[in-house]
């Protein structure tokens, strides 16, 4: 991955959204966009857009705006998307299946390299032509293959045990889909995905919107 200065966490959280919008613009054949137009699409101010991009050295031209292709590539460089991160999935249940079948990972810099589970009846089966391997083989696999990220789609009662197994084998990044939030450390990075949190917020906003429409 190319070296770059550390960006504020709030900026990093917005960057994937910028990247998605820029990708859409590129696919539409739009070559440039102003901070105002991009901000309107994202629901942020033009000054916020300019501030975010300035934080990593990108600047638009007055009367021209930002070059969509160049800006998109700069964000790819920041996230190392041209380096192709190697990802393994631990847990071949419904969610593990869905992740393994998702076609968008590789074009965005992430390759699902292996899937692990403990259920004897599914060992050897294939998802998207990726064989399910018994978790007992994890150490052997990691010794023979470089792994950047482990996606944890295991039952809640096993996630701490599996997280320890994964990190003990040298994997430094965890993408955790368990309701239990894992904690990062100096040498382990964690992204906790709490889907129910998003649904709770969505449900709350739905009730609020309905209350405004039907105040009585």
Please identify, in words, the CATH class of the domain defined by 9-79. Answer: mainly alpha
Angle made by CA atoms 24, 29, 32, in degrees to the nearest 5: 85
The predicted model scores a pTM of 0.85
Res 136 pLDDT > 90: yes
Sign of CA dihedral 38, 23, 108, 82: negative
Calculate mean pLDDT across residues 170-187: 94
User: Which segments are annotated as binding site?
Assistant: 91-96
User: Which segments are annotated as binding site for NAD(+)?
Assistant: 91-96
Confidence of residue 63 (pLDDT cuts 50, 70, 90): low
| Residue ranges of the chain that CATH labels 1.10.10.10 | 9-79
Confidence of residue 25 (pLDDT cuts 50, 70, 90): very high
Structure tokens at 68: 């969509």
Please give the pLDDT value at position 58.
80
Res 2 pLDDT > 50: no
Superfamily (CATH H level) for 85-196: NAD(P)-binding Rossmann-like Domain (3.40.50.720)
Confidence of residue 5 (pLDDT cuts 50, 70, 90): low
Res 3 pLDDT > 60: no
| Residue ranges of the chain that CATH labels 3.40.50.720 | 85-196
- DSSP lists the bridge partners of residue 85 as 110
Q: Which residue has the tokens 């009846």?
A: 121
Q: Which of 71-80, 106-115, 133-142, 191-200 has the highest mean pLDDT?
A: 133-142
């Amino acid at each position: 991955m190319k070296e770059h200065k550390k960006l504020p966490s709030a900026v990093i959280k917005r960057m994937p959204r910028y990247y998605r919008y820029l990708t859409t613009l590129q696919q539409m054949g739009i070559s440039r966009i102003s901070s105002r137009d991009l901000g309107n699409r994202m629901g942020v101010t033009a000054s916020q857009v300019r501030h975010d991009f300035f934080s990593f050295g990108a600047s638009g031209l007055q009367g021209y705006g930002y070059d969509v292709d160049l800006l998109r590539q700069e964000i790819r460089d920041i996230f190392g998307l041209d380096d192709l991160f190697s990802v393994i999935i631990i847990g071949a249940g419904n969610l593990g299946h869905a992740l393994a079948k998702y076609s968008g990972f590789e074009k965005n810099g992430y390759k699902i390299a292996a899937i692990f589970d403990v259920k004897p009846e599914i060992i050897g089966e294939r998802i998207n032509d990726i064989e399910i391997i018994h978790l007992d083989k994890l150490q052997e696999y990691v010794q023979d293959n470089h792994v950047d990220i482990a996606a944890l789609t295991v039952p809640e009662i096993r996630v701490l045990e599996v997280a320890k197994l994964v990190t003990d084998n040298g994997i430094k990044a965890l993408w955790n889909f368990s309701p239990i939030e894992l904690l990062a450390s100096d040498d382990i990075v964690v992204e906790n995905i709490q889907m129910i949190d998003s649904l709770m917020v969505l449900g709350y906003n739905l009730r609020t919107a309905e209350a405004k429409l039907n105040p009585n």
